[in-house]
Amino acid sequence: MGHTMREVAKRAGVSPATVSRVLNKTQHISTEMEQRVLEVVRQLNYYKNVHARRLATGQSDLFGLVISEIANPFFPEIIRGFQAAAWDRGLDVLLCNTEYNQSRTKSVIRKLIESDVRGVAIMTSSVDRSVTSDLIAAGVGVVFCNLGPAEKLVSNISIDYQRGISQAIEHLVELGHRRAAVIAGPQDNHTAVIIKEALVAGLQARKLNPFPVLDSNYRVDAGASSVRTILSEPEIPTVVFCGSDLIAMGAMSALEEAGVKIPEDVSVIGIDDISFAFLTRPPLTTIRVPREQLGTIAFEALEVGSSQIHRCGPRA
């Protein structure tokens, strides 16, 4: 039979409330006392009962994080930032994966509500905002990324892609590029649409009317397929802007296969600065998105929102 919090408190010479504060990181405790409690916890191999704490406080320790695809290298840094921020506060994360499937997304939302999460960060633009109506109806705060204005129980984090895109275009104009093509992400992804519009508008403003402008998906093979379409045109561009690093990596692979030299014949620009970008040869030129910071900000927004909800009373 496992040990209780009272046994930990007795052996450490503190109150059960102090043990709770140390384990849940809810209040500042002196370093000496914290170490004393944690040493007893280690000796007794004690594990806190999160279910009992939920019953006592009427508040869950669990936050949800929704992404599109765990295999996509765009997401690990978001997960790391979000999870680190949660763990620093003694809270836990339920990670869910939609796989770009709307039926699965609905199942994910149901699972999050059933798990009594305090808040949910939806860090993919490949969902329809309406699918979260059940979360909002259940009193669960939601944080989106690039999915529209904030409202009651809903926050939105907007990424300023325009600045990085403008800098990249200016750099390429200075290098003498005069013909550009664009391989954007999927049309049903709101972030992909924002990036595509920013690229096209920025290029047109500098008289680099892009052609062709293609839509694809966030996979390497989609970038490769799009480049084959570009190479079939009578005149090929001197630079290809891609809506993600994965698309760009596929584009580079297809260019190399066709005997086109990078960057001597065609330059390739990606967006995201994923960890794999520097492994390409030559290393991929990319526009950095601070994804770990994005994960941290998403959690902090949820924590503030959930605290306000809790002060108004726990959900039924």
Nearest CA among 140, 135, 155 for reference residue 59: 140
CA dist., res. 203 & res. 36, Å (int):
62
Nearest CA among 231, 273, 274 for reference residue 251: 231
CATH of 5-48, one of 3.40.50.970, 1.10.760.10, 3.40.50.1100, 1.10.260.40: 1.10.260.40
CA dist., res. 48 & res. 59, Å (int):
15
Q: Please tell me the CATH code under which domain 59-159+292-311 is placed.
A: 3.40.50.2300
- Per-residue model confidence (pLDDT) at position 133: 86
Query: Which regions of the chain are under pLDDT 50?
Result: 55-57, 309-316
Give per-residue pLDDT as tens, 202-217: 999 999 999 999 999 9
Nearest CA among 301, 316, 163, 179 for reference residue 236: 179
Phi, psi of 264, rounded to the nearest 5 degrees: -60, -45
- Per-residue model confidence (pLDDT) at position 310: 47
Domain 59-159+292-311 shares a fold with domain 161-288:
yes
Whole-angstrom CA distances from 138 to 59, 132, 150, 152 are: 14, 10, 18, 13
CA dist., res. 57 & res. 130, Å (int):
31
Q: Which tokens hold the place of 304? A: 């503030």
Nearest CA among 119, 156, 135 for reference residue 302: 119
- Per-residue model confidence (pLDDT) at position 248: 97
- Per-residue model confidence (pLDDT) at position 305: 67
- Per-residue model confidence (pLDDT) at position 153: 86
- Per-residue model confidence (pLDDT) at position 51: 52
CATH of 161-288, one of 3.10.20.440, 1.20.1250.20, 3.40.50.2300, 1.10.3720.10: 3.40.50.2300
Nearest CA among 154, 162, 229 for reference residue 201: 162
Contacts 24+ apart (CB under 8 A), 102-111: 102/127, 102/128, 102/131, 105/66, 105/131, 106/131, 108/66, 109/134, 109/135, 110/134
pTM (2 d.p.): 0.80
Q: Where are the domains of the chain?
A: 5-48, 59-159+292-311, 161-288
- Per-residue model confidence (pLDDT) at position 308: 55
